[in-house]
Chains A and B, each alone.
Chain A
């Protein structure tokens, strides 16, 4: 009786082997250490009031980024394990991992890096910057925004819990059926994957709606669409894609879950299921997802290049058109992920051509950035270095992508390490470099002090060097016939030296990440001498630089009025000082409901994973009740009076004088 109450859960689900125990142990120890630390410092109340219940997008952004950075460490750890395995597992040596364990790590690495690192960094930066950039005081739906973050957090928690209790999916990061069906993956691994992504995915979808409305409805007066900063454009495009693509993910995951829990036959082999439909559906989300991630990064590059070249962005209108061309085209290329499924020449040819076509607007953007630099005054601060690294890596990766867009060539490189090298160049080179650049660039605005430049540059050089060293050999390995996700291979193939080089490269990237952490620590240590007192440390062009650093809770004392694309730059040039006129500001009150909603979602997911259905039902009821209780609250906002705003603003000015 008791056993059935716990579904599939039992003591035997705790980790059995040394490496998993190490991973699980470090997670448990890490969480435990944090809990103890907060208790010792007596900071629970502060944490709850200042952070966990906050609805200030700037703080939510910071929380997103903290989670994403921690997950980056986990994902990078997985990558190092994979590289170690492949560098050692030639011939008789089985390496350090068995195949099942290796496949779990492969799946976890992909899942975590896309959903909890890339998405986390993206939503974090959008939260931090977007409202400031469009002259808004908040997002359209602050409560929804907090809820999105906490759902993201719940999904993240579920993924990491799988390391401690049970196992994770071993079916690859997209869990193709029939392998991911109950018959071939009988453990809870795939269920963890499904519910973690489902919960985080709903959060992303709500964020998409939220930011879309924010951009469309909350721009400062005078900011017509064609006067929006390029980052805002790119976010708008990306969020449009989120709104169209994430429901497809929701459906796909739900159907796979129904197959696994209710014995349905959507993707099963036999009984009228159709696994090819899953592959179509998941990529109908998955390809737009790539652009969801990369478009905001493009936006960041646009801001950075213009700022550090001290020149207006070249070809603004072209850039906008290019972005929207990408949005539309990104829904017409998904089949290029499976040319080898035998769809027929006409279908393959169509999707191949569309894939080539989407490279056109992307290429145009590169030219526009180059010509923004042309006749500029470029200062190569670390954000600019990330941009340069991006152009190099992304161009190489992009060209390899054009090769793969030709079906007849793709047959020979699909599912190989060539493909792995290609998409890492696009996603790391395009997306991650962009977010790192953005983080360095906007860091002073959020925290009020600058990051250590020297360590940042050092981190960059280790990153780019290590990255090329880790992935260029994979192109060669792919051409030598090495498929992806191999836990071991014949020694006679002679692949081992290349795998060792790739492993060394990964290690260098690890050192780069180490320098980034060191940079953070040193910068916090020396924060007093790194204060940004001007609010404009880089010579910025857009509105976020017109307010003090760190940006105050109300963002702007006076709602700005826009007459130009680079409003702040133009104001600086003309020496125009904004008239300070304090006004009452309406701000969202803190609310713990978001935390509870996500907590119940987590319990719901946990119950579904382990077939503890009573828990899921209870959690769902509690979730709905929380929403109703929250809905009955008619005063979710408070007024920050003009007087208080004035007081805070003066305090900021005084602090400035104190340091000067």
Chain B
């Protein structure tokens, strides 16, 4: 009797937890589960499928655990079989080597296919041409360079909706990770390396983006906003930046910007020194101003 009431208390407690959690979640944004982009949506669906698959394992295992624990408890000795010397059953063991193997087999196929299909480096297919944006992680802010539009921004990036965007990512400080969860998964930003992340927004809105990997003192405030807008709005935004912000990003202004700073306000540059991004990447690969030296090396070889 007492045990039964305990079980009921447990069940009620569980329901209460579910109810409260549901009520709480209802009013809040769950970025990963409420994507606003093609890539994020695919990733969410994949996650949902795998989670469902997992439930098919977890539920039976838990049911089995409770059933066995309940039935073969000491107090129940009168009603349960006891076979102290049984230490194996080839058939049973084959079955539970097979069950996880089959399951993992399915997951493996999913892994294999999705790794290729959803490779972040792979350009997204679309009728619209891809927008190229170069991203530089700095201490502690994000610089976005639009190489074809010749503008640059800090801590804000505007993109047209339904247009594939190829973010080319590097870092001019420590290693961190570029993540705008509602649009899709993250990618590491590393000095001297250039990675790619292809994303596409499907709804106009502002989306939060963060540095996902610890990068020092100002890490928590190293955030940016993705402003996804219709093509018309995006064009207007471009014109606005061109016309209203005379600041230029040259080697000197860049050096100024590169100094560690926190909580940097959104900044726009209407002109960017060409190849700035490549210079940033290359300075970690080769000594600057040492070109002649390098060339003689190559001749020697």
Contact = CB atoms under 8 A, between A and B. Distances in A.
Given A374-B72, A402-B54, A412 B185 contact: yes
B64 A370 contact: yes
B58 A396 contact: yes
A403 B64 CA distance: 23
Contact of B87 (A315, A348, A406, A416): A315
Nearest to B288: A270
Contacts of B58: 395-396, 399
B191 A270 contact: yes
Given A178-B191, A184-B174, A378-B69, A367 B96 contact: yes
A312 interface: yes
Given A103-B214, A270-B192, A476 B100 contact: no
A483 B43 contact: no
B93 interface: yes
Contact of B188 (A99, A103, A340): A340
Interface in A550-568: none
Interface residues of A, number: 93
B112 A349 contact: yes
B187 interface: yes
Interface in A85-116: 99-100, 103, 106
B46 A409 contact: yes
Contacts of A373: 68-69, 72
A13 interface: no
Given A270-B283, A348-B115, A485 B214 contact: yes
A89 to B, nearest CB: 9
Contact of B116 (A342, A345, A359, A379): A345
Interface string B28-70: 1111110000001011101100110010011001101100110
B108 A353 contact: yes
Contact of B213 (A403, A405, A407, A415): A415
B86 interface: yes
B4 interface: no
B115 A179 contact: no
B109 to A, nearest CB: 9
B72 A179 contact: no
A406 B114 contact: yes
B121 to A, nearest CB: 7
Q: How large is the interface on B (under 10, 10 to 19, 20 to 34, 35 or more residues)?
A: 35 or more
A345 B212 contact: no
A19 interface: no
B27 interface: yes
Given A353-B108, A396-B58, A412 B220 contact: no
Interface in B182-232: 182, 184-188, 190-193, 195-196, 208, 210-221
Nearest to A488: B220
Name A's interface SS: helix
Nearest to A321: B97
A514 interface: no
B97 A318 contact: yes
Interface in A350-385: 352-353, 356-357, 359-360, 363-364, 366-368, 370-371, 373-380
A380 B68 CA distance: 12
A151 B181 CA distance: 44
Given A314-B87, A370-B64, A412-B47, A342 B219 contact: no
Given A412-B43, A414-B212, A364 B97 contact: yes
A230 to B, nearest CB: 12
B84 A376 contact: yes
B108 A356 contact: yes
Interface in B104-125: 104, 107-108, 110-112, 114-122
Contacts of A212: none
Given A317-B88, A370-B68, A476 B30 contact: yes
A275 interface: yes
A310 interface: yes
A179 B174 contact: yes
A498 to B, nearest CB: 8
A275 B191 CA distance: 9
B24 A406 contact: no
B190 to A, nearest CB: 6
B158 interface: no
A651 interface: no
Given A270-B192, A363-B100, A415-B212, A99 B61 contact: no
B43 A411 contact: yes
A416 B120 CA distance: 18
Given A373-B68, A376-B72, A411 B120 contact: yes
A416 B30 contact: no
Contacts of B57: 363, 399
Interface string B119-162: 11110000000000000000000000000000000000000000
Considering residues A176, A276, A316, A356, which has the most beta carbons from chain B within 10 angstroms of its beta carbon? A356
B80 interface: yes
B101 interface: yes
Interface string A71-88: 000000000000000000
A338 B62 contact: no
A629 B241 CA distance: 76
A497 interface: yes
A476 B47 contact: no
A415 B177 contact: yes
B81 interface: yes
Contacts of B97: 318, 360, 364
Contacts of A392: 62, 65
User: What are the 9 closest A-B residue pairs judged by CB atoms, nearest first?
Assistant: A411-B185, A349-B115, A312-B87, A269-B191, A363-B100, A367-B96, A481-B31, A342-B195, A415-B212
16 contacts: A340-B186, A342-B196, A345-B116, A353-B108, A360-B100, A377-B72, A377-B74, A378-B73, A395-B61, A396-B58, A403-B50, A412-B181, A415-B177, A479-B32, A481-B32, A494-B28
Interface of B: 21, 24-25, 27-33, 40, 42-44, 46-47, 50-51, 54, 57-58, 61-62, 64-65, 68-69, 72-74, 77, 80-89, 92-93, 96-97, 99-101, 104, 107-108, 110-112, 114-122, 173-175, 177, 179, 181-182, 184-188, 190-193, 195-196, 208, 210-221, 283-285, 287
Interface of A: 99-100, 103, 106, 170-172, 176-179, 184, 269-271, 275-276, 309-318, 338, 340-342, 344-346, 348-349, 352-353, 356-357, 359-360, 363-364, 366-368, 370-371, 373-380, 388, 391-392, 395-396, 399, 402-403, 405-416, 476, 478-481, 483-489, 493-494, 497-498
